[in-house]
Structure 1
Amino acid sequence: MNQYQIFYDLHHQAQSLLLANAWNVKSAQIIEKAGFSAIATSSGAIADSLGYKDGEQIPFDELLYIVKRIKASTGIPLTVDLERGYTNDLDVLHSHIQQMIDIGVAGINLEDNQGEDIFLEKLKSITNYLRETNQNLFINARTDVFVQKIDHPTETVISRAKLYKEAGADGLFVIGLKDTDTVRKIVSAVELPVNVVGISALSSVDELTDCGVKRISMAGILYGAGYGKIDAIVHSIKKENSLSQLY
């Protein structure tokens, strides 16, 4: 069974797929060694680790290099946060998709924060390209409705989910959710496997599984937590004039 199929099947099991988000080879290897079934990347974490702001400020070639190194150094399915595709040119978008497939990536996230129409154009173009070239890639359609504070967000997400499924999306990633009631309402109304970020208010994997969530991500939270600990250690070393914090 290829890694795309393994990754696809992980979204159609009783237990939610729990994903930790990596930003470099070492973090990805730690995630794999801990027993996770797959690895996701965080665009924000990768960008920040290289001195860029989030939002496609990192050049695509630099992102591609990180993805190549992660995939070459791990053995489980990898899904990549591709933001808006790093282009508005559909031919270039196809090239980006092909480069991900050539590396061995099993899936991508694609964001709709440019608006529903532009997103659908990109999504349909990708799915048509995959069909024409007889290739597979799990497309997790990320909707930013809640963080963009669009009117009637729950209803809008449900409406977009139907359109995204018809256009060939494999999953629906809803960011900005803060309570289980809204999660349940969305899950019950859409046909795609739903992905949420495990923020503090939604941190119980069992509870989210009970809500019907099929995928739980950590986004840049793991990156922030890890470097928060490093920050505390180095400040303590400087303050105490001692290396004891390292041992």
Structure 2
Amino acid sequence: MSDYEKFLDLHHQAKPLVIANAWNVKSAQLIEKNGFDAIATSSGAIADSLGYADGEKIPFAELLYMLERIRSCTGIPLSVDMERGYADNLNDLNVNIQKLIDIGVAGINLEDPQGEDIYLKKLSSIKNYLARTNQQLFINARTDVFLLKLPSPLETTLRRAKLYQEAGADGLFVTGVQDPDIIKEITAATSLPVNVVGTPKLSSIQTLAECGIKRISMAVFLYRATYNQLENIVKNITATHSFTPLHQPS
């Protein structure tokens, strides 16, 4: 079974796929070591770790290098946060997609802040390219309607879900949604496996499972939590004039 097939199956099991977001090899290895079935990347975490702002500010070549290192050092399916695809030209977009496939990526997130018309052109281009070249890649269609606070967010999300499914998306990633009742309406209205981010207001995996969610991501939050711990350690070294904080059990 290919990594794509394994990754696809993880979205259609009884329990949700809980997926942690890595930013380098070590974080990815720790995710794999601790029993996760797949690894996702966080574009914001990778960019920030290399001194770039989020939002495709990191050169794609640098992102690809990090992804290649992660993939070569882990053995479970890898899904990549591709933001808007790092290209507006459709031929360039497909070149980027091929580079991901060549290093063994199983899936991507592709987001729609440019609007559904541009998004559908990109999604259709990728699907046509995959069909033409007889290749497979899980496309998690990320819609930022709630995150961007667009008008009529539920209605717009449901419309986009239908359009994206018809265009060949494999999953639906809804960011910024916080209300379990709204989540239930979304999952009931689409046959696509729905992905949300675990947040303080949506921290219970069981609750999200009961809402019909099939994939739960950690986004940039795992990265932030890690570096919050690091900041606490170095602050304590400075405050105590001691290296004891380096050797305290975690």
TM-score when normalising by structure 1: 0.99
Counterpart residue number, 1:50:
50
Q: Deviations over 1:196-236 (max 9, x none)?
A: 00001111111111111000000000000000000011001
Write the mapping of 1:88-237 to structure 2, written as runs, cut at 5 A.
88-237=88-237
Counterpart residue number, 1:34:
34
CA offset at residue 246 of structure 1? 1.1
Counterpart residue number, 2:241:
241
Counterpart residue number, 2:11:
11
Secondary structure in 1 matching 2:201: helix
Q: Deviations over 1:93-137 (max 9, x none)?
A: 000000000000000000000111000000000000000111000
Q: Hey, what's the Cα distance between the residues in 2 that align with 1:179 and 1:147?
A: 13
Q: Hey, what's the Cα distance between the residues in 1 that align with 2:70 and 2:233?
A: 27
What amino acid is aligned across from residue 185 of structure 1 in structure 2?
E
Q: Deviations over 1:158-199 (max 9, x none)?
A: 110000000000000000011211111111111210000000
Q: Hey, what's the Cα distance between the residues in 1 that align with 2:112 and 2:86?
A: 13
Q: Hey, what's the Cα distance between the residues in 2 that align with 1:237 and 1:204?
A: 35
Counterpart residue number, 1:72:
72
| Unmatched tracts of structure 1, length 5 or more | none
Secondary structure in 2 matching 1:173: strand
Q: Hey, what's the Cα distance between the residues in 2 that align with 1:96 and 1:129?
A: 12
Q: Hey, what's the Cα distance between the residues in 2 that align with 1:19 and 1:56?
A: 22
Q: Hey, what's the Cα distance between the residues in 2 that align with 1:15 and 1:209?
A: 7
Secondary structure in 2 matching 1:110: strand
RMSD of Structure 2 on Structure 1 (CA): 0.5
What amino acid is aligned across from residue 97 of structure 1 in structure 2?
I
Q: Hey, what's the Cα distance between the residues in 1 that align with 2:244 and 2:148?
A: 45
| Unmatched tracts of structure 2, length 5 or more | none
Q: Hey, what's the Cα distance between the residues in 1 that align with 2:24 and 2:151?
A: 37
CA offset at residue 145 of structure 1? 0.3
Counterpart residue number, 1:20:
20
What amino acid is aligned across from residue 34 of structure 1 in structure 2?
N
Q: Hey, what's the Cα distance between the residues in 1 that align with 2:151 and 2:56?
A: 26
CA offset at residue 147 of structure 1? 1.4
Secondary structure in 2 matching 1:19: strand
TM-score when normalising by structure 2: 0.98
Secondary structure in 2 matching 1:53: coil
Q: Hey, what's the Cα distance between the residues in 1 that align with 2:166 and 2:28?
A: 33
